[in-house]
Amino acid sequence: MNNTPELRPGRYRHFKGGEYQVIDLARHSETEEWMVLYRPLYGEQQLWVRPLAMFTEKVSHQNKTVARFTPVE
């Protein structure tokens, strides 16, 4: 198995403005793809997973390239 990638648990802001709590990383049981376990800090605050590659990717927003999620210091 590969080494665990780095993504610190903590608070992150989505490029559209919502804040989320990253809890940990996990691996998909079939594909071994790294997934991010997180929850929104609003609404019902249910747990969600998203592929790490998607969580950390850059997206186009208002004619700019921005990170999908950025850490909140």
Domains, the chain, ordered by start:
10-71 (2.30.30.320)
How many CA atoms are closer than 13 Å to the CA of 22, on its beta-carbon side? Answer: 23
Task: Determine the average pLDDT of the residues in 42-57.
Answer: 97
pTM of the model as a whole? 0.89
- Report the pLDDT value the prediction gives residue 60, as an integer from 0 to 100: 95
Which DSSP state fits 68? S
The string of pLDDT tens digits covering residues 11-49 is 999 999 999 999 999 999 999 999 999 999 999 999 999
